Structure 1
């Protein structure tokens, strides 16, 4: 076959199914390149999408009911007979695509795939990894839980993880790490190495190091607290209190009203700044270098770590003293942003309020309503734009060059708690990178008790379109689409850009992937039903009483690792621990479920054989315990069935 022309080989490979093309890659290097062709896998992604299903139906049939039904997804329709009842002529995805499209020529299918493709201009998409993320197997595991000793010194209980950040390594080593604060005020780092060596893969999810307890809660200023009755520092626990700077290898961790800058090489706090109000959100890392933006209860501030600690501490101290007085109520103190009665000052600043510091402190933006929850620095070329969302009905737009002036607002009507850009920031950044002029901003939250997924267009202002310098242009945000019907039946908690898709989580433990248009669902996963139920086993009166439904976890924050193949993972923070969703076959060993004895041996100086024997022992014990719990559950369910049958028979 190696002697055949490439055109003929491409025609032959086109008749194979995706599974057969994966196996064909092992034949030779030439066949590998042809079977891994990016355009070929782009066709497979399109042929198993909702757009292809719509195009394959007759024009007289209405398919909108499938798109608006939140329970109908491509994965569920491919696993049962619902697809056959609705559309008998459409084959299953694993059979090689949609009938009607397979009969078309390769060029016609390619044109349809280009029309469906939602990637931005100049964005490179690895469609082979995209296909795996859309249709490959999913596996879930917890990272190793840090443990603390109890009073007796024998038994240990886990720490609570109070946030999550990702330290990215764009070198060939790809030694990514998870950074998170613990409830005792320490900093913990986990290994997330994505190299292909067996040693690094076996260590993924293990703890690399932990700082001293309480380093985040110490007062490094050397000054005594002016109000001794003030409550101790506490975590806000909203998920946006961690920001990692991968280039400088620094982490910014917020506890209460204190912002700690931690050196990730030494796990020591190198600077600490206090603010008059509690910190609710920090901006995340982007593909350009700008100061950190943070949102407190009633203000938006820019933190520049280049300022000396003495100068900033003095400014913050003066600001805290001015705001230490009791709050004075006022009429209509929290007006709506879009209210016609709201008038800005002549200099563009918001109207002065009683809760705002004095006129000499103008380096922050006061908020009309409390409760900011998410800050977004859009990717380049929108390097001067700052977007803020929270428990108020609008998204606030600021320009860093004219800060703290409020540039514009976009009305949402919902209570938003997350912002993301699609496509996300690109790493690494090259000098000849071409950036699209328009981006999509995705917001998530709730509207009238239901989940709300909202899309906005972010593009350069038309009045500045003639300016050749992209950094000198201003950005404009306009509404594009709001999905408040089929997104979720409960509040959305977090949203992110994941490949050529959007991923978000809701308060029922669901994690859903949708197309970038926000309408068509690609697949879903539930943290509380990690293992599907076997229909061959008998069920009792309470189907939800099985072991797969005993937990009640929700994803407070989701964080893609932005890798390909083995490096493509989704990190999940539940408020107490961190999990990993991988697009691969489930591993035999879950690091997060290891016994604490194995954790002791991991830090001890023992040989690999002893360590592996201990792991095998704990796996056997865990399997015995699981089988015992399953047998007891089935016995109780059978007993419940008998009780119900006897009661019904007696009543009759």
Structure 2
């Protein structure tokens, strides 16, 4: 085998099943390289995709006996009024136009069209298809960070996170630290560096924590007051981390705190006229954009005028300070996005929130409004995607008359696209707005039955979270389904297992006590390979950072092992053994009491909904 050319070995490997291809990689360095051939895993990704399954299904439908046409017509009529020429042909039972009279040639052509239509790397980012296969089919694992505990009035208190940010390591050019403000007013930093052949990874270790009350301005032992201050606004985009200057910006009510992340000391504080609801990213070269409930401001820490002794912001608004601001016609910005520099103009500022349009400001002429993009939905979060918006009319599978050159041409100019997670008339809306061509796609039918909270790109897919605790992955068209995970689908402990039903309608497991958590922010942890040839980064380290509605911080990975490493399990076992019998009994009693109270509140809410619905019936 060692004497065979690589092309021959690859041809042999392609005949193996996926588990056997993975085992071949452990033979030697040569077979590791061949076993991760990009073309090989691209074919495996496509063969196991829903696009190829749909193509084979339609091929079998065309080959069925004509006596089954009535059943086929009934099945084809299910999607509704959005029918293409292909759907109409199936509905009428008429044969499809063939590109070749040879059945084998026809099958090859149809497969090639389906492959071009499915291709996730049309932006030519060169991502790894082996990693793509792992993300699409491997088991999903969740690891949760350990929060620093402290004792208050002879009671051990575990704080929760009120925001999320990530810090990049300048040497490896990858995000290696997680920064979060806690409800006790402190700032904590965890090591989340990726695992490689030369390093064991960060394993979610706590690197440092500032003093309690640093952000809230309360005493260290006054945890209750700090919690009220830190959680009053409830802003999701409340943290901005500058990896160049190692500074963190934290929004607490109407104040913006600048913290030195190396010493965890407060540098400056600026007061704003209204509670801060959103912060933009911070990169050290452009000012941070601050969105309050009714205004938008530019905060530049390099400007000496921005000091703690500056006059009150209320006077600034009335007197007309030279540091201008934009006044919003409708309150409630929730997400602020700076242009990523992919185009010629990198001075754009995009603001979206509870109003139904995305506002575009020009940083050079701020606060002049450059333009708006009407959405109709209320947007919770935005991010940039390098992939363009391809019209549904160019779908090569559903539209056999469309040439493949048209799809290739549409993808050759992707341009920056704003990916938005929104809510439209009570349902989730996944929106793609192409800034170059002006084309828009809004998935308001199959995205989610509840509001979308956060969305981002993840390899060759889009991942978003909704109000039901789901994480859903779709293709870059925003429609084709890949996979789903509900963070509440986990085994219950012995105290939570109860055979009785909850609620009037015998609710599902998602309504059980303690089973209603949601993911309100997703941040990709894009690990890059080490510059040294002797170190190889784990292929499944393109993980996701999660911040839940209950204030928990976690990491989502792929595989059977914990994405934070085995060290977390060892620490949990040591802590469990160190607890006394009285402590475990006390925690169990508190947990059962919390479950009973939550069950009572759920029953009350179900009764209110039931009684309110009685008046709607005729």
Shift of 1:530: 2.6
Partner in structure 1 of residue 292 of structure 2: 296
Partner in structure 1 of residue 209 of structure 2: 210
Partner in structure 1 of residue 189 of structure 2: 189
Report the Cα distance in structure 2 between the residues aligned to 1:244 and 1:31, rounded to whole angstroms.
41
Segments of structure 2 that go 5 or more residues without pairing to the other structure are: 63-71, 81-102, 219-227, 388-411, 528-537, 593-618
Shift of 1:524: 1.0
Residues 166 and 175 in structure 2, CA contact (< 8 A), matched pair in contact too: no
CA displacement 1:333-370 (0-9 Å, x = unmatched): xxxxxxxxxxxxxxxxxxxxxxxx44554622111110
Greater shift after overlay, 143-152 or 167-176? 167-176
Report the Cα distance in structure 2 between the residues aligned to 1:143 and 1:232, rounded to whole angstroms.
23
Matches of residues 451-600 of structure 1 in structure 2 within 5 Å?
451-459=428-436, 478-531=438-491, 544=508, 550-563=514-527, 565-575=539-549, 576-587=551-562, 591=568, 598=575
Matches of residues 609-620 of structure 1 in structure 2 within 5 Å?
none
C-alpha change, 1:410 and 1:422, in structure 2 (3 Å) is same
Shift of 1:120: 4.8
Residues 142 and 592 in structure 1, CA contact (< 8 A), matched pair in contact too: no
C-alpha change, 1:67 and 1:503, in structure 2 (3 Å) is farther
Partner in structure 2 of residue 56 of structure 1: 56
Shift of 1:119: 3.0
CA displacement 1:425-452 (0-9 Å, x = unmatched): xxxxxxxxxx976022111121111111
Match of 1:257 among 254, 259, 264: 254
Residues 180 and 189 in structure 1, CA contact (< 8 A), matched pair in contact too: yes
Matches of residues 42-121 of structure 1 in structure 2 within 5 Å?
42-58=42-58, 112-121=114-123
Report the Cα distance in structure 1 between the residues aligned to 2:105 and 2:472, rounded to whole angstroms.
28
Partner in structure 1 of residue 406 of structure 2: none
Partner in structure 1 of residue 530 of structure 2: none
SS across alignment from 1:26: coil
Paired residues, number: 496
Report the Cα distance in structure 1 between the residues aligned to 2:105 and 2:487, rounded to whole angstroms.
36
SS across alignment from 1:131: helix
Matches of residues 46-445 of structure 1 in structure 2 within 5 Å?
46-58=46-58, 112-152=114-154, 155-172=155-172, 176-196=176-196, 200-201=200-201, 204-218=203-217, 235-285=232-282, 289-308=285-304, 310=305, 312-313=307-308, 317=311, 319-321=313-315, 323=317, 357-361=318-322, 363-382=324-343, 383-423=346-386, 438-445=415-422
Residues 456 and 464 in structure 2, CA contact (< 8 A), matched pair in contact too: yes
C-alpha change, 1:207 and 1:311, in structure 2 (3 Å) is closer
CA displacement 1:109-142 (0-9 Å, x = unmatched): 6775344223353412111111111111111121
C-alpha change, 1:358 and 1:546, in structure 2 (3 Å) is closer
Segments of structure 1 that go 5 or more residues without pairing to the other structure are: 69-99, 220-230, 324-356, 425-434, 460-475, 600-612, 630-652
SS across alignment from 1:56: helix
Report the Cα distance in structure 2 between the residues aligned to 1:65 and 1:497, rounded to whole angstroms.
33
Partner in structure 1 of residue 19 of structure 2: 19
Residues 298 and 367 in structure 1, CA contact (< 8 A), matched pair in contact too: yes
Shift of 1:320: 2.0
Residues 147 and 157 in structure 1, CA contact (< 8 A), matched pair in contact too: yes
C-alpha change, 1:49 and 1:369, in structure 2 (3 Å) is same
Partner in structure 2 of residue 7 of structure 1: 7
Shift of 1:580: 1.6
Shift of 1:150: 2.5
C-alpha change, 1:64 and 1:275, in structure 2 (3 Å) is farther
SS across alignment from 1:485: strand
Residues 417 and 445 in structure 1, CA contact (< 8 A), matched pair in contact too: yes
Shift of 1:568: 2.0
C-alpha change, 1:212 and 1:360, in structure 2 (3 Å) is closer
Residues 135 and 540 in structure 2, CA contact (< 8 A), matched pair in contact too: no
Report the Cα distance in structure 1 between the residues aligned to 2:492 and 2:198, rounded to whole angstroms.
29
CA displacement 1:412-436 (0-9 Å, x = unmatched): 1111111111139xxxxxxxxxx97
